[in-house]
Amino acid sequence: MADLPVTPAPDAPSPSLVSTTLVVYLLFGIAAVVPLLAHGFPLVLPLFGVLGIVAVVIAYVKRSDAAGTWLASHYRWLIRTFWFSLLWGVIGGIIAALLWWLLLLGVLIGYGIWIATTIWVLYRLIRGYLLFKENRPVPGM
């Protein structure tokens, strides 16, 4: 029988790093959900409030501490969620502004992009948190 190479398991993260990751998920969750509940409509930039910026700064600072652990994928997941939500929010705003003159069609398209972005952000936060809760890395990250 041929021996298969054994890949070592990633290092176990420290309890403080696990707690910090939970705080980042919590800050992103609050940044995405509270304005949605308060205003009743998706924001143009769902994670680009003060809490979202604080969360992404923490994620960038702690990303190197998480290298080699299952948490590294979560930090990459959260950072990418932040930047792609910003990108799509800006794209929705540009479309809304450029097509404003066409019977408000641009506003409807922009608003549709903002709704889709908000749903996508919530999906990524929920999916990432559920994997985090199970101590599993985010697949593909």
Tell me the pTM.
0.83
Cα 43 from chain centre: 15
pLDDT in tens, 107-122: 788 888 988 998 999 9
Q: Which residue has the higher pLDDT, 130 or 97?
A: 130
Going from N- to C-terminal start, the domains of the chain cover 15-133
Using CA atoms, how far apart are residues 35 and 29, in angstroms rounded to an integer?
A: 10
Smallest CA-to-CA distance from 74 within 35, 9, 21, 134 is with 21
Q: Which residue, 48, 49, 44, 40, is CA-closest to 96? A: 44
- Interatomic CA distance for residues 135 and 130, integer angstroms: 9
Confidence check: pLDDT of 10 > 80 = no
